[in-house]
Structure 1
């Protein structure tokens, strides 16, 4: 059965309103940090009343979950946008550099995706599945480089996220740890790239 035009209009209006709330939420956390996300301030920025926020999101955590999903999708899209060459080492380095840039250019997004920065918030299974998809892309890229042990995937993610954490905490706006990405990639592959490449 086809939807009536009025139903289509209402659904489009609801989605537009939800998008406006999320845009306001990102603006707020990028200016003030994740801890500053309050429904009252969010409503003010979105030009609506606080109770109206609840018409679109059942809770603050629901807003955070939608933001997490947007951030995870942006990360997946970034990883899929990177060119695949016949040089897997080059591709791993490009992936690592893109990851670090993705994180340091939007610290609240990085904190939401890769740290537990908001007490009491855990992403929904649906939102988290997007992040798992990005991790699977990394696993495949490591396999192309002869790295197959799941422990080594954990080491790779710990090292790359660690570089971001150091950069964000100790040299915001600089490039001290960003400049180490190539060295770290080379060291990692020298230590762990001993399996068959795919």
Structure 2
């Protein structure tokens, strides 16, 4: 009971110990450095080229020390997946909306393909199953679901049925895949976006 507390007893506090806070910040900084190194590797050599040994060498630590931050290569992929998904949500939230459905479809698809082509390693990790045996954890996948929910809300705001999401995402990844695979750095499939969105709009609105 409160009435039994000694007057001179130290007050309880929920504040973190300063040393613990500093250690946590150092750990977070090291994790970020590890992820940056991992992204550098996969952007240069592809997702499958990632090894714990190479990551450890880039950040200046022994490979066994890396396990205290990420217990496996898939754990690094999982953290990268979560990070990339958050980047997509933040990016897509900035895409402007108008009162015109077709305009928003075109602008939104141009934005998606731009996001895909500006970092193909990130695109492959987020939107393709290129890593055998890797599945994002529920916590990491939740960030990806936020992006899909955002797309659904934008579509329903213009009166589109929720069932058209699958068709639209298939068109989006198809355009991105073709651009990345067959005309990297060009605009051959980017130039088809407006026509593709017009066909989509006419089909689902008819």
The counterpart of 1:43, out of the listed 31, 56, 76, is: 56
The counterpart of 2:84, out of the listed 63, 71, 75, is: 71
The counterpart of 2:196, out of the listed 162, 184, 196, is: 184
Give the aligned partner of residue 135 of structure 2.
122
How many residues were matched structurally?
A: 193
Does the 8 A contact of 1:146 with 1:193 survive in 2?
A: no
Give the aligned partner of residue 43 of structure 2.
30
Give the aligned partner of residue 82 of structure 1.
95
Are residue 16 (structure 1) and residue 29 (structure 2) matched? yes
The counterpart of 1:104, out of the listed 113, 117, 133, is: 117
The alignment yields a C-alpha RMSD, in angstroms, of 1.1
SS at match of 1:56: coil
Normalization by structure 2: what TM-score?
0.90
Does the 8 A contact of 2:152 with 2:162 survive in 1?
A: no
Q: For the pair shown, which has the larger CA radius of gyration, 1 or 2? A: 2
SS at match of 2:68: helix
Does the 8 A contact of 1:92 with 1:141 survive in 2?
A: no
Normalization by structure 1: what TM-score?
0.94
Misfit runs of 4+, over 3 Å: none
Structure 1: where are the runs of 5+ without partners? none
The counterpart of 1:156, out of the listed 160, 164, 168, is: 168
